[in-house]
Structure 1
Amino acid sequence: MRFDHETLPQRIRFASGAAAAHLAAEVEALGGRRVMVTAGPAARSAAREITDGLPVVHRHDRDGDVVRHVPRAVAERARAAAAEHDVDVVVAVGGGSTTGLAKAVALASGIPVVAVPTTYAGSEATAVWGMTEDGRKTTGTDPRVLPRAVVYDATLTLSMPVGLSVASGLNALAHCVDSLWAPRTDPISQALAVEGVRALGAGLPSVVREPEGLGGRERALCGAYLSASAFASAGSGLHHKTCHVLGGMFDLPHAQTHAVVLPHVLAFNAPHAPEAERALAAAFDAPTATAGLALLYDELDAPRTLRELGMPADGIAAAAEAIVAAAPPDNPRAVTLQAITGLLRAAWEGAQP
């Protein structure tokens, strides 16, 4: 056995109902005196509540300030606001788009970020950044964008509707699955990924059954962190390369796109990655990984089609070419234009993988 595994330097504070206190402690530890808060519309109220006692000099939370896939023009406005207000800490309260915007500020300035997730996106636990311009999403890795601390509080996810909770949780599950065969996968990231599958597989059905219960949301939130930790070390596999192309090219909703594509990439790769397949099957407590995922999708009433997300049928050919060009060279199965075209058409139609 021989591998290299990088554990990212980051503190995690996990406790329901303690976001304000934990956030204040982290800002103080960073010496923050001029705080910028980023928050999208869904998290604006919660952000104002938990940051009320902080030395906030700018709230970047107006309509249009946070946009999915972080368009470059939106990122530049946030960077200019941080410079204008001489910000020394950015607090990001919200989902992946909010964290992504804070990362864009950090990438250009080195200003430290404290993330307070309200979804299961997982961006908060990685040093990966992404921005879109002219229909193309560019991603990269830089230690400056890794949030110095993450404050997890499951009560902040209670306002997330069940449908969005499901999609966001399946996005996290996709981090787990991709981490089992991504370019830098290793036994540690694989172990984190498998535990993430178990946590999400138990937590998400509980969220659907009892949306106001904290137990399921805590398990899902913990699973989201495990999944992101695995992904941070393992890197982007075929699934994430596919979704980055689709999101950037067609401006599709991030979490729902991951949820729709995941069963198709799993069915594509699993027969060619037997060890990963067995580990996933065991985590799902199912005879096969694909069967386990299918049962979970039925239980969650998960999103099924790219067509319903707004992807045009005539975009399949161009997307397939871009995905083949971006696919990792060591994917378990050869990534051909014909195969990816078929995969995308099945995902567009909502056909069985």
Structure 2
Amino acid sequence: MARRVFLHIGAPKTGSTYVQNVLWSNSGALKRAGILLPGSATQQDQAMTDLRAVSWRDPAATWTWDHLATRAARWPGDVIISNEALGGATAEQAARAVSAFEPAEVHIVVATRDLWRTFPSMWQQSIRSRNIWTFSSFVTAVEQGKFETFWEMHTGNRMLRRWGDLVPAERRHLITVPPAGVPHDTLWNRFAGVFGIPAGVCELAGPAANSSLGAAEIEVLRRVNQALGDRYPHRTPYQRVVQRHLVNAVLKQGGNELRFGVGMERAEWVADLAEQQIKELSEYPCEVVGDLAELRPVGMKQVPTPDELDDGAVLKAAIEAIIGMLGHADELSRQVDHSYQARLVRLRGRVRRGLRG
């Protein structure tokens, strides 16, 4: 039976890709240190979609939450499960998730960052998940209380209430994302301290390559999503085609020079929300790793939004994307040709050896 199970449930856009890259790239060393990551990152994601019973679960998925729990139960040491989409589970699903690992000592780990950075990051992530709404319509929906999913999945307050209340206070951990400019391993060290990972066990690479797109590039993607209609309607085929061949291979490799964010006309609203968030979290019994003051926005300044771009800027980014796609297609063709030639050489060798035999 597992001794302790750490459920890292979110939030998205809080450095989770970086943390997960370190975890999975060091899974062997962690296992030797007595810490198991059951399954693979993909299988843990499949278990998450089973737990949440989402409509976009991959029909080919085989791992369930119970399967994940069974694997964990066979391990005598500590277990880490990390998937930032777990935070979107309902109260009933969260209760099922925790109970599946009992009587092991279950810990809930939540990361949170300041809202000034969260708003543009979350909207961009939604576009990269096939949504088509504009940035201004997204922020307006949140402001008017018409998009509660944002608060449910992207702030530590509500996730801790749904998940943290299921375990004793000493097993609730809130990690704040440090501001820009600090050493890139600061966030990892905070997670490692919670997980109980000894120093030196994991080799750290640079920051995770889950890079943000610029205003023009993300607007190109949003318009592509609009034009797709009912093609690649679900998460898995969209990731295999659009995310892989357009976002990762092309758009992320572009200039992405024009940063975007919330306009200064909403700066006071965001600052007030931050103070409310800090107050609620300071009153919630849990371990805070970092500093709640890091949830106060800093460096707020006027920046454009993708909605304000003229069509010329979007057209330029789209043309660059087409050029990038041509290069990507050419490279794929070269890989196919090389693979074909290599197989042909091997086949001819087997034929010659057969004839000699």
**Could you say which structure has the larger radius of gyration?**
2
Greater RCO (CA < 8 Å, at least 6 residues apart)? 2
Name the TM-score, length of structure 2 as normaliser.
0.30
